Amino acid sequence: MRSVKETLKEFLFPPRCAVCGSLLPLEKEERLLCPDCLAHPPFLTGEKCRICGRPVDNDVLCHRCRHKDFLFTAGTAAFSYETMQEEIAAFKFHGYRHEGERLSHLMAEYLLQEHPGWATWADVLTEVPLHANKLRFRGFNQAEILCEGLAKETGMHHVPGVLERLVDTLPQNSLKAAQRKENLKNVFGAAKKDVIAGKHVLLLDDIFTTGTTLQECTRTLLRAGAAEVRIYCLSVVCKEEDFEQNSIEKT
Ligand SMILES: [Zn+2]
Ligand SMILES: [Zn+2]
């Protein structure tokens, strides 16, 4: 039974599609995308940076990745962060676990459509880890949920917990670029070295911002013996003003 408070809230703030803002059909109240947006997801297509997946004009790398020596050899993202901001927040912070399952379905669709070779390339699919404190607080690792769904639909081999976060760091978004690097030094460890030795690893996260977290995770994977690492993110931050914005909680 729905409480009076819930019903009233819905009356005053009827649920809207996270992408186009249209009112959602009542029976789909738990969904955050309208049927139209679900049928034609606003995927990032066309020319994209081969490291982070941001749209580019006539170039293989975006201006942010051009001067960085990323250790992963390729990366991609299904959506721009700006398009999916509300959906991601609902999933991460409000505990809409089923939203994660639906998002992973879209991630599978995108990967098979845009990067058809990747699912067979990857020997192991794993996620950027959360520290135990955050995991306890949130109850789940959003990236791990996305991996589970993605593996189910693509047949990839998901091994959770290959990486572990040894130190509970400050949120990356509260720091400047130089501090971000320092903040993450020696933060990650490889808990399952035997699984990744000599293997192709596809590393998954929900948001690609500056890439510092993914870089440190990749460093740890390569040190532990992985042959090659590629990155797959649900979304990539595309608007310049969002890089310094505090609402992007990078855990
Ligand atoms: Zn919509
Ligand atoms: Zn890039």
The answer on pLDDT for 151 being more than 80 is yes
pLDDT, one tens digit per residue, over 9-62 is: 656 667 777 778 788 876 645 566 788 888 888 999 999 999 999 999 988 999
Cα 212 to ligand 2 centroid, rounded to whole Å: 12
Residue ranges and CATH numbers for the domains of the chain are: 1-40 (no CATH), 44-243 (3.40.50)
Give the confidence band of 192 by pLDDT, cuts at 50, 70, 90: very high
Cα 63 to ligand 2 centroid, rounded to whole Å: 7
**Mean pLDDT, rounded, for 90-112:** 83
The answer on pLDDT for 126 being more than 60 is yes
pLDDT for the residue 26: 67
Residue 88 to residues 68, 81, 91, 144, Cα–Cα distance (Å): 27, 8, 5, 14
**Mean pLDDT, rounded, for 210-217:** 94
Mean pLDDT, the chain, rounded, equals 86
Token pair 């000599």: residue: 198
pLDDT for the residue 2: 58
Counting ligands in written order, the one closest to the CA of 52 is 2
Cα 165 to ligand 2 centroid, rounded to whole Å: 25
In the three-class reduction of DSSP (H, G, I as helix; E, B as strand; rest coil), residue 127 is classed as strand
Return the minimum-mean-pLDDT range out of 97-101, 134-138, 236-240: 97-101
Higher pLDDT, 104 or 244: 104
What percent of the chain has pLDDT above 90? 55
Counting ligands in written order, the one closest to the CA of 76 is 2
**Cβ atoms of residues 218 and 246 within 8 Å:** no
In the three-class reduction of DSSP (H, G, I as helix; E, B as strand; rest coil), residue 227 is classed as coil
**Mean pLDDT, rounded, for 222-232:** 98
Cα 22 to ligand 1 centroid, rounded to whole Å: 6
The answer on pLDDT for 250 being more than 50 is no
pLDDT for the residue 240: 80
pLDDT for the residue 182: 72
Its sign, for the CA torsion 239, 243, 249, 250, is: positive
The answer on pLDDT for 172 being more than 70 is no
Cα 51 to ligand 2 centroid, rounded to whole Å: 5
**Mean pLDDT, rounded, for 148-171:** 92
Cα 167 to ligand 2 centroid, rounded to whole Å: 27
pLDDT, one tens digit per residue, over 49-98 is: 999 999 999 889 999 999 899 999 999 999 999 988 888 887 887 766 77
Give the confidence band of 248 by pLDDT, cuts at 50, 70, 90: low
**Mean pLDDT, rounded, for 109-129:** 97
Cα 24 to ligand 1 centroid, rounded to whole Å: 8
pLDDT for the residue 229: 98
**Mean pLDDT, rounded, for 230-247:** 83
Token pair 């590629």: residue: 230
**Cβ atoms of residues 251 and 130 within 8 Å:** yes
Residue 169 to residues 70, 180, 190, 205, 248, Cα–Cα distance (Å): 21, 10, 17, 17, 15
Higher pLDDT, 121 or 6: 121
